[in-house]
Each structure stands twice: as structure tokens, then as C-alpha cells.
């Protein structure tokens, strides 16, 4: 089963697995990334919608189990997990827009941008689709993170699946 959500993004979580489907939108999100020579850090941009680009930075865990056996989180650094930092909304930190008209105007648009971002990220890093995911934020980022988690949760519930989102 697939759930279509705003902006043509499809995303499902089932038994701890994130499943992605292709968008029917005319705009196709894409990723541009780089990394360290040891492969333990990746960073780049995801073009999430026309004119809007989110910056992210991933630190893989150095835990002896390998990052493939450890959860991953967004934002908060902990010793035994892979950490991904996301500059959001577009226009903050290293994320940018091509023109001011592309700034997100409310938390709902920020949440949908983040859903678009995670779809493209997981298409390019499928090994994270089966790992537990935790989302953290501080200050106003807590509101945006909770909206993102809520939208992710709604996608899961709309197809009557149990989410692996923690």
C-alpha cells in the first residue's frame, strides 16, 4: 500500500522499514553530496522543491557494530548512533533558496519540505531505511521537528501500518 501526501510525496514506515515511492510531481527532488576520504561523514544538498535546497550533514557512528546495526537520529549527537544535521527551513544555515519567493511560509510547508528531503536522502542512502530513526530539535526547531514527525506519523497511520518512528 502507498499513501499519497501533499506535494506528491509518498513515504511509508512499516515495522521499522521506511519505504519510498516515486512522486507524481513535475519537480523531481535530487541530491548533491560529498564526503570524507574515510567515508565516515557525508554532506550535501537535497533540492526539495523548485528553488529550495536543504543542507544536511551526516556523521556515521564509529561503534564496533557498524552503522548498519545502529539507530540514526536527526540533529542530536550521541556516541553510539549516526548523526545527521539538517539546516532547515530552507534559507537558514547552509540551506538556501534561489529567490525569496521560495522561502517556506509556515510550519506545514517546512514539514512537507522535510518529507521531501527524507524521501530523496533515503533513496540515495537506502541502508538507513531499516534503522530506527529519532528526531530532535531545540527552540523553534522543536516545533518544526514535531510537525515533521507528526506528518511522518500521519503517513504511517493513513495506510494502517505500525511506525518504526520513535
Residue pLDDT, tens place only, 90-139: 988 788 999 999 999 999 999 999 988 888 888 888 888 778 888 877 77
Per-residue pLDDT for 158 more than 80?
Answer: no
What is the Cα–Cα distance from 34 to 56, expressed in whole angstroms? 11
Q: Does domain 4-158 have CATH number 3.40.190.290?
A: no
Quickly state the pLDDT bin for 49 (edges 50, 70, 90): confident
Phi, psi of 74 (to 5 degrees): -110, 120
Helical packing angle, 107-124 and 140-158, nearest 10°:
70
Mean pLDDT of 71-82: 65
Cell numbers for 144, please give them. 518544526
Give the confidence band of 72 by pLDDT, cuts at 50, 70, 90.
confident
For residues 95 and 87, is the Cβ–Cβ distance under 8 A? yes
Q: Which residue has the higher pLDDT, 5 or 96?
A: 96
For 51, half-sphere exposure in the C-beta direction (CA atoms, 13 angstrom radius) is: 7
The residue extents of the domains of the chain are: 4-158
Residue 148 has pLDDT above 80, yes or no: yes
Best CA proximity match to 110, nearest among 150, 157, 59, 153: 150
The answer for residues whose C-beta is within 8 angstroms of residue 78's C-beta and 6 or more apart is: none
Amino acid at each position: 500500500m502507498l499513501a499519497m501526501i501533499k506535494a506528491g510525496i509518498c513515504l511509508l514506515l512499516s515495522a521499522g522499514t521506511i519505504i519510498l515511492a516515486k512522486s507524481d510531481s513535475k519537480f523531481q527532488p535530487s541530491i548533491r553530496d560529498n564526503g570524507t576520504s574515510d567515508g565516515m561523514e557525508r554532506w550535501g544538498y537535497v533540492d526539495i522543491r523548485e528553488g529550495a535546497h536543504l543542507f544536511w550533514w551526516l556523521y556515521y557512528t564509529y561503534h564496533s557494530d557498524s552503522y548498519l546495526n545502529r539507530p540514526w537520529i536527526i540533529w542530536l549527537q550521541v556516541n553510539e548512533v549516526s548523526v545527521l544535521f539538517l539546516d532547515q527551513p530552507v534559507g537558514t544555515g547552509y540551506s538556501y533558496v534561489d529567490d525569496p519567493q521560495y522561502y517556506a511560509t509556515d510550519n506545514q510547508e517546512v514539514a512537507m519540505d522535510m518529507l521531501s528531503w527524507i524521501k530523496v536522502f533515503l533513496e540515495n542512502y537506502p541502508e538507513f531505511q531499516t534503522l530506527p530513526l529519532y528526531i530532535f530539535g531545540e527552540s523553534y526547531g522543536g516545533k518544526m521537528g514535531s510537525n515533521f514527525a507528526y506528518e511522518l506519523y500521519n503517513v504511517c497511520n493513513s495506510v494502517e501500518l505500525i511506525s518504526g518512528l520513535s
